[in-house]
């Protein structure tokens, strides 16, 4: 019942926000492009650009689902916002599932509640960005890895489960290719419980093959129609943005004419920009390796520095103003404040679980590997605050043990608080649930 109440809180807060917010998918910005692609799919035109030519600039997963919604109810962006409300409530349940599997029921409830009221996740509900839907897919894949049968086996019971995890990773990667970073997490789902390296390697290969099964048709289509072997052609541009002389580590073009318009054919331009971006990025890394390495801390900073960008994007970067100046300032402070609270709890939680109980080590390693692999992907490209949104629920789960420890510490008599700083031991119930 408590879980259902938290799911309801998540849904109500998000519903209230889309009723209040006045976010619109305006030309040029990502939500407008997702809306346009979805409308074209709903009308039977295929996955095409403004000129009606095949495109692969944006991954197809989110536009495909949004297009299915438009096909059912008509081209109404508010339907996409309503979908985000439902997905946000569902995500709260997924966070509870992951948290309870990793650290027990109490931790799961705390993490789910934190997600339910997480300001930036609520703000993105009114936007037709891919973040809300991708977060669901990413957490589902991560949860399937965490809930894999124990002890580790690749027999009749284990194979279908690992295949399902691989399929989930493939689906998530069709929304954002960064989900492929979860393939690096698979060995951590097996090794901490003593699986031989050979078994871990076979399991990782099995998951990768299942993900490839999902991705191959789309990549084949891009190779045949776009002459690009990739999930999305914006990978070239993004790689170049993060790797050029004078790069900040965040978003930013080096020169206005770095990608000159070479053709009125948008498809041809898209292919050119993809290959040109990869070439420019690799050239910078080869010719200036020390400068490229020096950019890594800046990329990490831009990725995790703040959460208040959600306030900027909800007003379409200043083009759909509906907040007062004071309200915007308060909302930015609230968004950043809650994010830093969770981030600090996650940092503390990284130290607590192994000391608290060896029974919790598998979930701890798995979540740490997810954060690490997600960070590494963006060190290759560039950092931007909204890119960390899908892993903030992971932070909340990691933070839950530290919140439990702090609460237990505060309940002790004042003098006894200084006698020990050992984390509380897991209860029998929570230990059984974590297994």
Q: How far apart are CA 350 and CA 340, in angstroms?
A: 15
Q: Is residue 159 part of a domain?
A: yes
pLDDT digits (tens, 9 = 90+) for 218-270: 999 999 998 899 999 999 989 999 999 989 999 887 776 667 777 778 888 88
Report the percentage of the chain scoring pLDDT > 70. Answer: 87
Q: Work out the mean pLDDT of the chain and round it to a whole number.
A: 87
pLDDT digits (tens, 9 = 90+) for 385-426: 999 999 999 999 999 999 998 888 787 665 454 455 555 555
List the structure tokens of 335.
């968004």
- Whether pTM exceeds 0.85: yes
3-class secondary structure per residue, 305-347 = CCCCHHHHHHCCCCCCCCCCHHHHHHHHHHHHHHHHHHHHHHH
| Range in 260-269, 299-308, 309-318 with the lowest mean pLDDT | 260-269
Query: Phi first, then psi: what are they for 48, rounded to 5°?
Result: -130, 160
For residue 426, give the DSSP letter.
P
Instruction: Give the pLDDT confidence score for residue 263 in this predicted structure.
Output: 74
Q: Is residue 258 part of a domain?
A: no
For residues 105, 402, 178, 314, the Cα torsion angle rounded to the nearest 10 degrees is 90
39 phi-psi bin (left φ>0, alpha ψ -120 to 50, beta other): alpha
Q: How far apart are CA 353 and CA 341, in angstroms?
A: 19
Between 412 and 101, the more confident residue is 101
Instruction: Give the pLDDT confidence score for residue 358 in this predicted structure.
Output: 40
- Sorting pLDDT into bands at 50, 70 and 90, what band is 429? very low
Query: Tokens 């705390």 belong to which residue?
Result: 110
Q: How far apart are CA 287 and CA 275, in angstroms?
A: 18
Q: How far apart are CA 239 and CA 229, in angstroms?
A: 15
Q: How far apart are CA 70 and CA 75, in angstroms?
A: 5
pLDDT digits (tens, 9 = 90+) for 182-218: 999 888 776 555 566 777 777 788 899 999 999 999 9
* Mean pLDDT of the 351-362 span: 54
pLDDT digits (tens, 9 = 90+) for 108-122: 999 999 999 999 999
pLDDT digits (tens, 9 = 90+) for 32-82: 999 999 999 999 999 999 889 999 999 999 999 999 999 999 999 999 999
Q: Is residue 139 part of a domain?
A: yes
Q: Is residue 217 part of a domain?
A: yes
Q: Is residue 224 part of a domain?
A: yes
Q: Is the pLDDT of residue 151 over 70?
A: no
Instruction: Give the pLDDT confidence score for residue 260 in this predicted structure.
Output: 73
Q: Is the pLDDT of residue 152 over 70?
A: no
Q: Is residue 293 part of a domain?
A: no
Instruction: Give the pLDDT confidence score for residue 387 in this predicted structure.
Output: 95
Cβ count near 321 (within 10 Å)? 11
Between 145 and 392, the more confident residue is 392
Q: Is residue 247 part of a domain?
A: no
* Mean pLDDT of the 290-317 span: 94
Instruction: Give the pLDDT confidence score for residue 258 in this predicted structure.
Output: 66
Q: Is residue 77 part of a domain?
A: yes
For residues 404-431, b (16+ Cβ closer than 10 Å) or e, as one string?
bbeeeeeeeeeeeeeeeeebbebeeebe
Where helices occur in 226-324 by DSSP H, the ranges are: 234-242, 266-287, 289-304, 309-314
Q: Is the peptide bond before 105 cis (omega within 30 degrees of 0)?
A: no
Residue-range definition of the domain harbouring residue 60: 2-228+299-434
Instruction: Give the pLDDT confidence score for residue 361 in this predicted structure.
Output: 67
* Structural domain count of the chain: 1
């Amino acid at each position: 019942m408590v879980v259902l109440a938290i799911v309801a809180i998540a849904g109500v807060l998000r519903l209230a926000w889309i009723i209040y917010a006045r976010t619109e998918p305006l030309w040029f910005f990502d939500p407008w492009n997702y809306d346009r692609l979805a409308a074209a799919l709903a009308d039977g035109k295929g996955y095409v650009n403004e000129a009606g030519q095949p495109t692969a600039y944006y991954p197809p997963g989110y536009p495909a689902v949004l297009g299915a919604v438009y096909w059912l109810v008509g081209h109404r962006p508010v339907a996409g916002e309503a979908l985000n409300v439902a997905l946000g409530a569902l995500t709260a349940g997924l966070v509870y599932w992951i948290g309870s599997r990793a650290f027990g029921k109490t931790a799961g409830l705390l993490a789910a509640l934190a997600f339910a009221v997480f300001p930036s996740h609520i703000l993105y509900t009114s936007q037709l960005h891919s973040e809300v839907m991708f977060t669901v897919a990413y957490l589902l894949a991560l949860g399937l890895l965490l809930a894999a049968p124990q002890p580790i086996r690749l027999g009749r019971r284990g194979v279908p489960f690992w295949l399902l995890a691989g399929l989930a990773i493939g689906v998530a990667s069709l929304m954002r290719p960064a989900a492929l970073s979860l393939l690096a997490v698979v060995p951590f789902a097996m090794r901490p419980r003593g699986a031989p390296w050979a078994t871990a390697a076979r399991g990782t290969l099995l998951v990768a093959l299942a993900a490839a099964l999902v991705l191959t048709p789309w990549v084949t289509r891009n190779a045949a129609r776009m002459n690009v072997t990739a999930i999305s052609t914006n990978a070239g541009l993004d790689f170049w943005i993060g790797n050029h002389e004078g790069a900040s580590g965040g978003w930013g073009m080096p020169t206005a004419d770095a990608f000159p318009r070479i053709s009125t054919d948008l498809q041809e331009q898209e292919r050119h920009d993809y290959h040109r971006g990869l070439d420019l990025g690799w050239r910078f890394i080869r010719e200036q390796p020390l400068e490229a390495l020096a950019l890594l801390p800046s990329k990490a900073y831009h990725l995790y520095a703040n959460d208040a960008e959600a306030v900027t994007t909800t007003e379409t970067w200043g083009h759909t103003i509906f907040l007062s100046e004071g309200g915007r300032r308060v909302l930015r402070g609230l968004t950043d404040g809650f994010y830093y609270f969770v981030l600090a709890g996650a940092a503390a939680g990284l130290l607590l679980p192994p000391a608290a109980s060896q029974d919790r080590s598998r979930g701890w390693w798995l979540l740490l590997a997810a954060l690490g692999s997600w960070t590494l992907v963006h060190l290759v490209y560039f950092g931007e605050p909204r890119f960390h949104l899908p892993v903030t629920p992971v932070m909340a789960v990691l933070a839950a043990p530290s919140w439990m420890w702090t609460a237990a510490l505060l309940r002790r008599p004042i003098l006894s608080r200084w006698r020990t700083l050992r984390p509380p031991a897991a209860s029998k119930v929570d230990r059984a649930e974590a297994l």
